[in-house]
């Protein structure tokens, strides 16, 4: 038969050989078929068990969900399977004591969330084969598990055979004796078993089918389960055959003697019923009803309907198939001699099979039955539904089989009692004086009385279970009523309430001393914190504040949005006390996450931060378990999980169980604003919440003192800017709380200054240069000697590393004019080229093919400018000039024909604070003093001195109208230009201009950076972009470069050069190759701008003579162009040199 038990379909095939007139049974229902072929995933039941014993606990059996490829799937939610009782029972434990039953704590089998399988065990009392299948959640079993159920030991006898209608004095049979186990399964005997046959004086038994060999017993041989026999009968009425053996339970078989005469007065003959009179509850038994007379003729002369008396069946049911579909009547066909039917009852006790044919009132057949219970399988605790608080109340425990029939235990069984809730006590006597926690159910008994007493009103739950856990447990709920009005109580749901959701039901009650309910008048609800509201409906739509408590109790519901624990009060004018309860509102699901911690931290310090979550009402809630917290913001720091930021840095935190918050640690490095970002990513369910937290990282504590310089190459006499800076661990600029003394320790000739011109020395104390340091100190350094020095700094317990300074004689500045050039190399001044007027300053008039020192200017020279036949230099703030001086350009208060100075002479009236100098063709200008005033002297035929006259001057004379704040000056052929004022405007005077700087050059009114002027024309570098703009003698301004120009020189006899982004570009006349394109062009041909080959980068200075050009590139001086006076400085004379060569080397 096919038995569907919950989600399990068991196809059971009986192995019986007796028990019915047809000898053997077949499947009474359709086998279940799997629909797994039509779905993607399916169930699979697995076990190492394939053979089990009837009625014994077997397993384990494993249920899995697999995909079409056979791969096991992990379920994403609990997958339940429900059960109901039947021929097989299913259990959660290996002892088969914890049955799956909706009335127990173990209600159903399920695969838990995140798991791949579930286990169960089973018992089946019916021998045969069984296909074990699973279905549920839209899935079926693809390949059912086949189990073979073996019978247990033989302990019962059964009789069966045919015919049931025995003819007198004829050999009838065969009939068989079967050996069966306790569950009515046919089973073999382990040894030869002698069975005694009894049939009264009217039956004789035989061993053979010819009824020749008489016997009173037969033997079922070892290993067999049945034995045949035959009989003869002289009976004229029903014949009862009994089979018995001392060790087995006996059996009887009723037969009808067809040769018997009808009873007197009974017309027509009586209907006989043949079958077993003893059966077990829940078993299906077969019976035959006979309709023929003693001559073997049917007395059914027409078509009739036979009806069963269901009342006398005592709850049993009748079937025409093998207990498949129940019936109450069945048709009888004319001439029919017999009818087979089946009977099954789950109610032990006495019953009666009674069949009648309503059309023929005399046709009545009856058959008495004894229905025996099976062995007990579980406990049943029976108590009254209601009891009064404080009163002794009777209960009892019963042992029942799977059909809920009472079944006695086979041995003494200890039963224990427990109150799952409440304060219930258990007693053995009706007066509740002898308290117990367990009692013994005696052998062969099925009922155990017990008494309980509870003083607390409400519903209590009691439990009874056997000590050996064979029958499991049985629970019972009892309503405890109040006795007398005394108090008011408020009861609420046991679980917590989620913010913003409607609660489960609350109940307000009036109770007696033991908690029994009564009634009261008007009741008012209140919540003093005001955080929760009251409602009368389950959806929390209709508000409620008071009500009439006329029916002992009143239900209501609450809702709150703020998490926390709050009190609920119920107040009444009749009862002085107030019902008090509390409600805990839990936060809802995560709506957002937040970060807390310091918003300002010091670089290098370890700071703790916490991430916590809030629901949509602003309540803090737990972070998701089995999630990952991803951290970002590592650009300026690192994350850690350990205090003090120990261990390895992290980028995410894996979380286990849900937490209220999670901590991490952060250590910032670089200063500035950082956005710490935390992203919570759920793994079990889709959730992604992120939050940014702004943190300002400020500098940490000073941990070291660092010396730096603007250049890595130190030239002798060069004023170089340096810095002493405090730094934290991450090289951020740090500071002391208050300025501290900083001490510099140096060696040899190194000198330190406070100003960019290296004129103001730092304070000296005890052999150290001393200053004040808060965070960073800028200072300046100069060494006139070429040597290696070391510099240290120390302040407030911090000492810098030694800074090694190697001073070299490098070209620092350079100027050219006409046919000679001068350059500051180291801090000394050297010149070369034409020397006919002593313009090289070496005390002679001899031309020099290589650089020679200028007399008295071998060190500490800070500036140089060369004119057509003279030159001027600044040493220690004083200006000296030499060379041709007939126009007064030397400034020594002398002029006139023949005035020549072959060595430097001081310029009169300028003092020792000359800032800058520029030598023109035959005149000179200098910026003097802190006020940066401008004075000029020399030739003035076109007003180039700017004093408003054309009178030559042999000593410095202030330029009219400029006053102070002259930032740069350029003296050209016959004109002069200067950058002046706060706006840094350009003003020019002389040739093509007025004799005084009255007007600003149009288009160059502000932001002029540098200037170079010729004879009425010129170029200027302008703005932060350092654009190059040039003008002609007609004052037409043209932009040459938009940006990147660091130096420009207008001069010579018609060519100009500029440094842009470190590369040299020249244009103009090229009759001696001075433009640098490697060619010589006609004297009147103007060459477009060229990028001088080999000088595309690294050029830091440029100077122009009449027909030659010189540059400083990577600390080397290079010259080219006309060389008839040795002006390229390379040790030879030639008409011209077409490519740049290094000054001071012999290239030819």
User: DSSP readout, 734-754?
Assistant: ---SS-EEEEEE--TT-EEES
User: Domain containing 649 — which CATH number?
Assistant: 2.60.40.10
pLDDT at 155 over 50: yes
- Look at residue 514 in the predicted model and tell me its pLDDT: 57
Of 570 and 512, the structure prediction assigns the larger pLDDT to: 570
Q: In the structure, what pLDDT confidence band is assigned to residue 522 with cuts at 50, 70 and 90? A: low
**Rounded CA separation 972/969 (Å):** 10
Please report the DSSP string for 934-998 in residue order. Answer: EEEEE--TTSTT-SSS---EEEEEEPTTT-S-EEEEEE-SSEEEEEETTTTEEEEEETTS-SS--
Of 569 and 53, the structure prediction assigns the larger pLDDT to: 53
> Quick one: average pLDDT of 614-639?
76
Domain end among 698, 724, 756: 698
For the chain, the distance separating the N- and C-terminal CA atoms, rounded to the nearest angstrom, is 122
The answer to whether the beta carbons of residues 93 and 121 sit under 8 Å apart is yes
**Rounded CA separation 733/778 (Å):** 13
User: Domain containing 400 — which CATH number?
Assistant: 2.60.40.2410
pLDDT at 3 over 50: no
Of 818 and 613, the structure prediction assigns the larger pLDDT to: 818
- Look at residue 262 in the predicted model and tell me its pLDDT: 34
Domain end among 808, 837, 862: 808
Question: Are 299 and 363 in the same domain?
Answer: yes
**Rounded CA separation 584/738 (Å):** 55
Tally of domains in the chain: 8
Q: In the structure, what pLDDT confidence band is assigned to residue 236 with cuts at 50, 70 and 90? A: low
Model confidence pLDDT, tens digit, residues 956-997: 999 998 888 999 999 999 999 999 999 999 999 999 888 889
Beta partners for residue 597, in sequence order: 609
> Quick one: average pLDDT of 802-824?
87
The answer to whether the beta carbons of residues 667 and 732 sit under 8 Å apart is no
Question: Are 447 and 356 in the same domain?
Answer: no
Question: Are 359 and 263 in the same domain?
Answer: yes
CA–CA distances in Å: residue 370 to residues 164, 249, 367, 619, 1013: 21, 14, 10, 69, 138
Strands 58-66 and 42-46: antiparallel
- Look at residue 801 in the predicted model and tell me its pLDDT: 79
- Look at residue 15 in the predicted model and tell me its pLDDT: 36
Question: Are 298 and 252 in the same domain?
Answer: yes
**Rounded CA separation 466/163 (Å):** 49
What value does the mean pLDDT of the chain take? 82
Report if residue 884 sits inside a domain: no
Question: Are 258 and 347 in the same domain?
Answer: yes
Report if residue 829 sits inside a domain: no
Question: Per-residue b/e over 586-620, b at no fewer than 16 CB within 10 Å?
Answer: bbbebeebebebeeebbbbbbbebebbbbbebebe
Of 1098 and 999, the structure prediction assigns the larger pLDDT to: 1098
**Rounded CA separation 114/1076 (Å):** 82
pLDDT at 925 over 60: yes
Question: Are 1018 and 1085 in the same domain?
Answer: no
CA–CA distances in Å: residue 369 to residues 277, 280, 724, 823, 993: 5, 10, 116, 139, 146
pLDDT at 24 over 50: no
- Look at residue 692 in the predicted model and tell me its pLDDT: 84
The answer to whether the beta carbons of residues 465 and 416 sit under 8 Å apart is yes
Q: How many beta carbons lie within 10 A of that of residue 706, not counting itself?
A: 17
Q: Is the peptide bond before 163 cis (omega within 30 degrees of 0)?
A: yes
pLDDT at 1013 over 80: yes
> Quick one: average pLDDT of 615-627?
76
pLDDT at 35 over 70: no
pTM: predicted TM-score of the whole model, two decimal places: 0.42
Structure tokens at 1076: 């640098």
Question: Are 67 and 107 in the same domain?
Answer: yes
Beta partners for residue 1055, in sequence order: 1051, 1068
Model confidence pLDDT, tens digit, residues 381-392: 988 888 888 888
User: Domain containing 1132 — which CATH number?
Assistant: 2.130.10.30
Cα 472-475-476 angle, rounded to 5 deg? 155
Structure tokens at 736: 């002391």
Domain end among 479, 496, 512: 479
Of 628 and 34, the structure prediction assigns the larger pLDDT to: 628
3-state secondary structure at position 424 = coil
pLDDT at 789 over 80: yes
- Look at residue 517 in the predicted model and tell me its pLDDT: 59
Q: Is the peptide bond before 180 cis (omega within 30 degrees of 0)?
A: no
Which residues are within 8 A (CB) of 766 and not within 5 positions of it... i.e. 6 or more apart?
none
Q: Is the peptide bond before 555 cis (omega within 30 degrees of 0)?
A: no
pLDDT at 251 over 80: no
Report if residue 850 sits inside a domain: no
Across 201-205, 336-340, 1143-1147, least confident range: 1143-1147
Please report the DSSP string for 84-104 in residue order. Answer: --SSSEEESSTTS-SB--TTS
- Look at residue 983 in the predicted model and tell me its pLDDT: 94
The answer to whether the beta carbons of residues 268 and 360 sit under 8 Å apart is yes
SS in 3 state form for 790-857? EEEEEECCEECCCEEEEEECCEEEEEEECCEEEEEECCEEEEEECCCCCCCCCCCCCCEEEEEECCCC
**Rounded CA separation 986/999 (Å):** 9
Express as a percent the part of the chain with pLDDT over 70.
Answer: 85
- Look at residue 8 in the predicted model and tell me its pLDDT: 32
Strands 145-150 and 51-53: parallel
The answer to whether the beta carbons of residues 270 and 263 sit under 8 Å apart is yes
Of 174 and 582, the structure prediction assigns the larger pLDDT to: 174
Question: Are 435 and 548 in the same domain?
Answer: no
pLDDT at 33 over 50: no
Q: In the structure, what pLDDT confidence band is assigned to residue 261 with cuts at 50, 70 and 90? A: very low
pLDDT at 241 over 90: no
Question: Are 383 and 435 in the same domain?
Answer: yes
The answer to whether the beta carbons of residues 937 and 916 sit under 8 Å apart is no
Q: In the structure, what pLDDT confidence band is assigned to residue 267 with cuts at 50, 70 and 90? A: very low
Taken in order 928, 931, 937, 940, the sign of the CA dihedral is positive
Report if residue 838 sits inside a domain: no
Of 885 and 377, the structure prediction assigns the larger pLDDT to: 885
Q: In the structure, what pLDDT confidence band is assigned to residue 518 with cuts at 50, 70 and 90? A: low
3-state secondary structure at position 523 = strand
Structure tokens at 999: 């007007």
Of 527 and 610, the structure prediction assigns the larger pLDDT to: 610
Q: In the structure, what pLDDT confidence band is assigned to residue 915 with cuts at 50, 70 and 90? A: very high
3-state secondary structure at position 37 = helix
Structure tokens at 562: 């703020």
**Rounded CA separation 363/301 (Å):** 13
pLDDT at 423 over 90: no
Report if residue 37 sits inside a domain: yes
Task: Give 708-715 contacts, CB < 8 A, sequence gap 24+.
Answer: 709/781, 709/803, 709/805, 713/808, 713/810, 713/1115, 714/781, 714/783, 714/805, 714/806, 714/807, 714/808, 714/810, 715/807, 715/808, 715/809, 715/810, 715/811, 715/812, 715/826, 715/827, 715/1115
> Quick one: average pLDDT of 708-725?
83
Domain that holds residue 797: 704-808
C-alpha 401 chain-centroid distance: 53
Question: Are 368 and 383 in the same domain?
Answer: no
**Rounded CA separation 1123/819 (Å):** 8
Nearest to 84 by CA among 60, 105, 108: 108
Q: Is the peptide bond before 174 cis (omega within 30 degrees of 0)?
A: yes
> Quick one: average pLDDT of 705-714?
84
CA–CA distances in Å: residue 616 to residues 230, 531, 534, 540, 591: 88, 16, 21, 19, 5
Question: Are 146 and 196 in the same domain?
Answer: no
**Rounded CA separation 224/244 (Å):** 17
Across 195-199, 375-379, 873-877, 914-918, least confident range: 375-379
Report if residue 817 sits inside a domain: no
Model confidence pLDDT, tens digit, residues 530-563: 678 888 888 888 888 776 665 667 788 888 888 7
Question: Are 994 and 922 in the same domain?
Answer: yes
- Look at residue 268 in the predicted model and tell me its pLDDT: 42
Report if residue 878 sits inside a domain: no
Model confidence pLDDT, tens digit, residues 269-295: 456 677 777 777 777 888 888 776 555
- Look at residue 4 in the predicted model and tell me its pLDDT: 25
The answer to whether the beta carbons of residues 813 and 824 sit under 8 Å apart is yes
Taken in order 644, 650, 656, 657, the sign of the CA dihedral is positive
- Look at residue 199 in the predicted model and tell me its pLDDT: 82
Structure tokens at 181: 């186990």
Report if residue 558 sits inside a domain: yes
**Rounded CA separation 274/285 (Å):** 11
> Quick one: average pLDDT of 463-490?
79
Structure tokens at 628: 């990952």
User: Domain containing 521 — which CATH number?
Assistant: 2.60.40.1930
């Amino acid at each position: 038969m096919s038995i569907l038990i919950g989600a399990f379909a068991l196809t059971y095939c009986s192995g019986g050989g007796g028990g019915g007139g047809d000898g053997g049974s077949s499947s009474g229902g359709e086998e279940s078929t799997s629909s797994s072929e039509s779905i993607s995933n399916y169930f699979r039941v697995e076990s190492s068990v394939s053979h089990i014993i009837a009625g014994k606990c077997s397993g384990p059996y494993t249920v899995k969900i697999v995909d079409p490829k056979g791969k096991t799937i992990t379920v994403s939610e609990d997958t339940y399977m429900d059960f109901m009782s039947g021929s097989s029972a299913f259990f959660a434990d290996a002892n088969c004591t914890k049955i799956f039953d909706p009335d127990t704590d173990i209600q159903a089998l399920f695969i838990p969330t995140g798991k791949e399988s579930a286990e169960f065990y089973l018992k089946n009392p019916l021998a045969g084969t069984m296909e074990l299948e699973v279905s549920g959640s839209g899935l079926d079993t693809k390949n059912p598990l086949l189990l073979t159920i073996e019978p247990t030991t033989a302990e019962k006898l059964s009789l069966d055979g045919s015919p049931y209608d025995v003819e007198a004095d004829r050999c009838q049979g065969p009939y068989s004796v079967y050996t069966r186990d306790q569950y009515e399964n046919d089973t073999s005997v382990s040894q030869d078993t002698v069975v005694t046959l009894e049939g009264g004086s009217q039956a004789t038994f035989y061993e053979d089918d010819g009824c020749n060999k008489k016997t009173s017993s037969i033997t079922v041989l070892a290993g067999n389960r049945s034995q045949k026999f035959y009989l003869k009968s002289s009976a004229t009425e029903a014949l009862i055959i009994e089979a018995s053996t001392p060790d087995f339970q006996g059996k009887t078989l009723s037969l009808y003697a067809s040769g018997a005469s009808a009873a007197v007065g009974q017309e027509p003959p009586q209907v006989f019923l043949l079958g077993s009179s003893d059966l077990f509850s829940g078993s299906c038994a077969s019976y035959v009803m006979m309709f023929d007379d003693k001559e073997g003729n049917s007395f059914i002369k027409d078509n009739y309907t036979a009806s069963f008396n269901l009342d006398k069946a005592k709850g049993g049911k009748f079937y025409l198939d093998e207990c498949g579909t129940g019936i109450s009547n069945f048709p009888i066909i004319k001439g029919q001699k017999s009818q087979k039917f089946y009977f099954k009852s789950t109610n032990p006790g006495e019953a009666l099979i009674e069949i009648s044919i309503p059309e023929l009132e005399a046709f009545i057949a009856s058959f008495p039955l004894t229905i025996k219970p099976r062995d007990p399988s579980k406990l049943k605790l029976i108590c009254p539904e209601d009891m009064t608080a404080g009163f002794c109340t009777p209960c009892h425990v019963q042992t029942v089989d799977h059909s809920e029939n009472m079944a006695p235990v086979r041995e003494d069984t200890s039963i224990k009692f427990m109150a799952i809730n409440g304060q219930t006590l258990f007693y053995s006597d009706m007066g509740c004086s002898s308290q117990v926690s367990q009692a013994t159910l005696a052998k062969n008994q099925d009922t155990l009385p017990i008494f309980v007493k509870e003083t607390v009103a409400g519903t209590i739950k009691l439990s009874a279970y056997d000590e050996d856990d064979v029958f499991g447990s049985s629970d019972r709920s009892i309503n405890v009523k109040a006795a007398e009005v005394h108090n008011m109580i408020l009861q609420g749901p046991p679980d917590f309430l989620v913010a913003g959701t409607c609660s489960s039901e609350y109940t307000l009650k009036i109770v007696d001393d033991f908690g029994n309910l009564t009634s009261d008048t008007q009741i008012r609800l209140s919540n003093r914190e005001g955080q929760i509201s009251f409602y009368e409906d389950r959806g929390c739509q209709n508000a409620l504040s008071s009500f009439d408590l006329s029916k002992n109790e009143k239900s209501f519901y609450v809702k709150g949005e703020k998490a926390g624990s709050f009190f609920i009060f119920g107040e009444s004018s009749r009862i002085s006390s107030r019902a008090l309860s509390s409600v805990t509102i839990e936060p809802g699901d995560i709506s957002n996450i937040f970060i807390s911690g310091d918003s300002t931290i010091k670089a290098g310090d370890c700071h703790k931060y916490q991430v916590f979550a809030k629901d949509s009402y602003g309540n803090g809630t737990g972070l998701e378990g089995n999630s990952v917290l991803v951290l970002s913001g590592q650009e300026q720091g690192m994350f850690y999980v350990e205090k003090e930021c120990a261990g390895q840095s992290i980028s995410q935190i894996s979380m286990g169980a849900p937490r209220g918050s999670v901590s991490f640690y952060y250590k910032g490095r670089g200063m500035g604003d950082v956005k710490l970002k935390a992203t919570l990513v759920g793994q079990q369910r889709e959730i992604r919440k992120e939050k940014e937290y702004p943190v300002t990282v400020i500098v940490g504590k000073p941990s070291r003192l660092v010396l730096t310089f603007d250049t890595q190459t130190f030239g002798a006499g060069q004023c170089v800017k340096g810095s002493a800076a405090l730094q934290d661990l991450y090289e951020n600029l740090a500071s002391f709380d208050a300025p501290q003394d900083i001490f510099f320790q140096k060696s040899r000739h190194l000198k330190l200054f406070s100003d960019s011109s290296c004129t103001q020395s730092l304070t000296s104390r005890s052999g150290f240069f001393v200053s004040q340091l808060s965070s960073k100190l800028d200072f300046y350094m100069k060494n006139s000697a070429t040597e290696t020095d070391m510099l240290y700094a120390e302040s407030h317990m911090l000492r810098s590393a030694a800074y090694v300074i190697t001073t070299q004689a490098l070209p620092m500045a350079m100027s050219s004019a006409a046919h000679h050039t001068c350059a500051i190399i180291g801090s000394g001044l050297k010149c070369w080229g034409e020397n006919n007027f002593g313009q090289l300053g070496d005390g002679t008039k001899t031309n020099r093919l290589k650089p020679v020192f200028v007399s008295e200017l071998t060190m500490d020279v800070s500036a140089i400018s060369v004119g057509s036949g003279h030159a001027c230099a600044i040493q220690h703030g004083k200006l000296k000039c030499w060379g041709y001086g007939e126009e007064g350009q030397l400034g020594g208060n002398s002029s006139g024909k023949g005035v020549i100075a072959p060595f430097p002479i001081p310029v009169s009236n300028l003092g020792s604070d000359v800032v800058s100098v520029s030598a023109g063709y035959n005149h000179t200008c200098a910026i003097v003093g802190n006020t940066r005033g401008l004075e000029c002297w020399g030739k003035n035929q076109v007003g180039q001195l700017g004093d408003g006259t054309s009178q030559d001057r042999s000593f410095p004379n202030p330029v009219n109208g400029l006053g102070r704040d002259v930032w740069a000056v350029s003296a050209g052929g016959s004109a002069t230009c200067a950058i002046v004022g706060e706006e840094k405007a350009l003003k020019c005077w002389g040739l093509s201009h007025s004799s005084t700087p009255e007007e600003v050059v149009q288009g160059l009114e502000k932001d002029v950076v540098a200037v170079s002027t010729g004879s009425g024309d010129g170029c200027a570098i302008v703005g932060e972009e350092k654009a190059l703009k040039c003008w002609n003698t007609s004052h037409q301004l043209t932009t040459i470069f938009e940006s990147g120009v660091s130096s420009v020189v207008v001069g010579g006899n018609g060519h100009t050069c500029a440094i842009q982004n470190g590369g040299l570009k020249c244009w103009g006349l090229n009759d001696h190759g001075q433009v640098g394109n490697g060619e010589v062009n006609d004297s009147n041909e103007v060459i477009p701008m060229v990028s001088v080959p080999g000088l595309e980068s690294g050029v830091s200075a440029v100077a122009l003579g009449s027909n030659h050009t010189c540059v400083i590139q990577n600390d080397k001086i290079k010259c080219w162009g006309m060389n008839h006076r040795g002006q390229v400085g390379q040790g030879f004379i030639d008409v011209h040199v077409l490519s740049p060569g290094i000054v001071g080397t012999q290239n030819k």
